[in-house]
Structure 1
Amino acid sequence: MTRILAVAVFTLLVGLPDMTFVGNPIRFAQKDGRLFLSQFGRPVFEYVTSDDKVRRPYFHGLHTPSGVRVTRVHPPVKGSELADHPTMHPGLWMAFGDISGADFWRNKGLVRHVKFLKTPTVENAVASFTVRNSYEADGKPICTEDCEIQVTFNSFRQCKGTLITWTSRFTPAGGSFYFGDQEEMGLGVRVATPFTVVKGGTIRDSEGRKNGKEIWGKQADWCEYTGVLNGKRVGIVLMPGVKNFRRSWFHARDYGLLLANPFGRNAFTKGEKSKIEVKAGWELRLRYGVFLYDSESDNAPNIGAVYREFTKQLNPRNK
């Protein structure tokens, strides 16, 4: 019987595509290793399964429900975008700097898309798909990831937006493997240059802290990047699930990087080095929420209320 080692989920706010029903405004389309999601003809995101330079699957071109792009152009265009880390920060991604000594953050190891376990589908206004990825180093598999993506719209009463729920299940390819301790471990996003802190945007967390100097290396229930683009208040909120094996620290940088990381205990606090082992027959589940929103006014929504509602949605029995 499979033993569950830990829990975490990645959820995200972004717009949806249609594909299944005639007249459905939510659409999927696939071409050349890319999966496109749109709503009412407006792009929501691209999911890339194979890239010569980025050796892991990733999302890019994330847009708010009204069509404002909130992730950096990929590849970045020098002169109009901050162009650092072009292959490590492609948009929205999950990556790890240390899995059994192999580096999948800096594109040294390979995260190979194996197949779709569930084909892209739209049902009851929810878009979803599931993929299987193989984490490989020196041509040998270390572990397998089954990654389920679910996208919904207008998911919260407090604020309109798109919610993507990202659930990853990791199992050993052999006897066992482990997650190490680095800053670069978890779910990350690189935001569009115009609303980075260095261009006038703001990073906020659940504890009332602001920007990289106060937030970097601190644990929080949620953390967001927010700013004004095209006259709209927009934001991306990372919300670790309450049933994760450990509360996440945030790797927050004023140039546009935001990462939720439950693994980097020593990297962030200089405390005991973390080593999360997954033995044969065990499973590590990761779950986080990311909320993508926009509004007509400059007023920031109540993200604390959004987070509480998100938590109830994930755990409906916990009143």
Structure 2
Amino acid sequence: MLRLLKLFACAVFLVHHPHSAWAQSGFSVVKQADRLLISLENSAVAQYVFNDPKILRPYFSSLCLTSGLQVTRNHPPVEGKDATDHDAMHPGLWLGFGDINGQDYWRNKANMRHVRFLAEPDCQNDKLSFATQCELQTAKGKPQCRMTNRYTLTSRPEGWLLVWEATFHADFETVVLGDQEEMGLGARVATAITEKNGGRIVNSNGLYSAKQTWGQAADWCDYSGKIDGKPVGITLMASRSNFRESWWHNRDYGVFVANPFGRKAMNQGPLSEVTIDQGQSLTLRFGVLVHGKLDSDLATISQAFDRFYTQQ
């Protein structure tokens, strides 16, 4: 009976208002028509949006600690509080690609359309997992690639960790991923912790600042600062199991991107074209740590990366 009660408490409810969700420990999810509302220890920590008429790719917004402190920029940006640039390109946390077979899935010119949930949200043992299927369509609506995404969120002592595993399936034709700055896993941090407002960027090699870390290869980059006097931050991690290392497109106004494709764009060599032959696939694996640690605590972040990398 106790096991049945636990499973029932961990169910995902299809409702139209977040207050219809039941309170519980660990993760909980409210599924709406266009998004998942994700909570941890009864506190909202993220939204996963899979259907947005303005932003033509799935994304996470409103990433928070359980304390309520938000590490990503408000979405949409709040006039007078946030910089309002790129509101439809930088919604919080996303995978975007400025050039796949000449189509632009970063600037919302082509559609990374959500098709279905391959696995419905399942929460147990301080972990939440779900999986989706997308279809990458040209600007004219022609299918050119299938994409599967597997998400795992885990509670951590310093906050929580998202593992995002994305696989491109070249079902329809050969797929070529081009060379741009705007290719990969990106995040836009809260206005209060941008480098312009006193926040700090550090990478796994111990380099600080957007200027020093831009274009450099690294296992991870952390963007952190203080909100209401309390340390908060977000770390993006690129798995060593990826087909090659990631270079970093980091800016002092709050965006940072793990990019394994933009070799020439990042001043690291000749033009890159990554080809997936028809019938083949390519998998990328990234981690995202939402934490309450200052970036000077490099040991904590390095340990978190090691746990992420070994968590298969």
Does the 8 A contact of 2:171 with 2:279 survive in 1? no
**Structure with greater contact order relative to length (CA < 8 Å, sep ≥ 6):** 1
CA drift of 1:229 comes to 1.2
Distance 1:192 1:286, change over 3 A: same
Q: Residue 276 of structure 1 aligns to which amino acid in structure 2?
A: V
TM-score normalised by the chain length of structure 2: 0.89
User: 1: distance between equivalents of 2:83 and 2:30?
Assistant: 30
Identity %: 42
Give the corresponding residue for 1:55.
Answer: 56
Q: Which moved more, 1:246-255 or 1:273-282?
A: 273-282
CA drift of 1:123 comes to 2.1
Distance 1:23 1:193, change over 3 A: closer
Instruction: Work out whether 1:310 is the aligned partner of 2:308.
Output: yes
Give the corresponding residue for 1:256.
Answer: 254
Give the corresponding residue for 1:282.
Answer: 280
Of 131, 134, 142, the match for 1:140? 142
User: 1: distance between equivalents of 2:307 and 2:91?
Assistant: 29
Q: Residue 42 of structure 2 aligns to which amino acid in structure 1?
A: G
User: 2: distance between equivalents of 1:178 and 1:122?
Assistant: 36
Does the 8 A contact of 2:106 with 2:182 survive in 1? yes
User: 2: distance between equivalents of 1:244 and 1:299?
Assistant: 27
Instruction: Work out whether 1:70 is the aligned partner of 2:61.
Output: no
Q: Give matches, 1:19-168, under 5 Å.
A: 19-20=10-11, 24-25=24-25, 26-137=27-138, 138-154=140-156, 160-168=158-166
User: 2: distance between equivalents of 1:101 and 1:221?
Assistant: 28
Give the corresponding residue for 2:264.
Answer: 266
CA drift of 1:298 comes to 9.0
1:267 counterpart SS class: coil
TM-score normalised by the chain length of structure 1: 0.87
User: 1: distance between equivalents of 2:180 and 2:289?
Assistant: 25
Q: Residue 105 of structure 1 aligns to which amino acid in structure 2?
A: W
Does the 8 A contact of 2:233 with 2:295 survive in 1? no
Give the corresponding residue for 1:178.
Answer: 176
1:268 counterpart SS class: coil
Distance 1:298 1:249, change over 3 A: closer
Does the 8 A contact of 1:93 with 1:189 survive in 2? yes
Q: Which runs of 5+ in 2 are unaligned?
A: 1-8, 13-21
Does the 8 A contact of 1:65 with 1:162 survive in 2? no
Aligned residue pairs total 292
Does the 8 A contact of 1:232 with 1:298 survive in 2? no
Q: Residue 201 of structure 1 aligns to which amino acid in structure 2?
A: G
User: 2: distance between equivalents of 1:225 and 1:69?
Assistant: 13
CA drift of 1:287 comes to 0.1
Does the 8 A contact of 1:141 with 1:173 survive in 2? no
Deviations 1:72-126, CA, capped at 9 Å, x for gaps = 0111112100111110001000000000000010000011100001011112221
CA drift of 1:299 comes to 6.0
CA drift of 1:28 comes to 0.5
Give the corresponding residue for 2:297.
Answer: 300
Q: Residue 153 of structure 2 aligns to which amino acid in structure 1?
A: V
Give the corresponding residue for 1:10.
Answer: none
CA drift of 1:133 comes to 0.6
User: 2: distance between equivalents of 1:250 and 1:299?
Assistant: 19
The two structures, once aligned, show a CA RMSD in angstroms of 1.8
Does the 8 A contact of 1:96 with 1:104 survive in 2? yes
Runs of 4+ in structure 1 off by over 6 angstroms are none
Q: Residue 173 of structure 1 aligns to which amino acid in structure 2?
A: D
1:68 counterpart SS class: coil
Does the 8 A contact of 2:224 with 2:295 survive in 1? no
Q: Residue 297 of structure 2 aligns to which amino acid in structure 1?
A: A
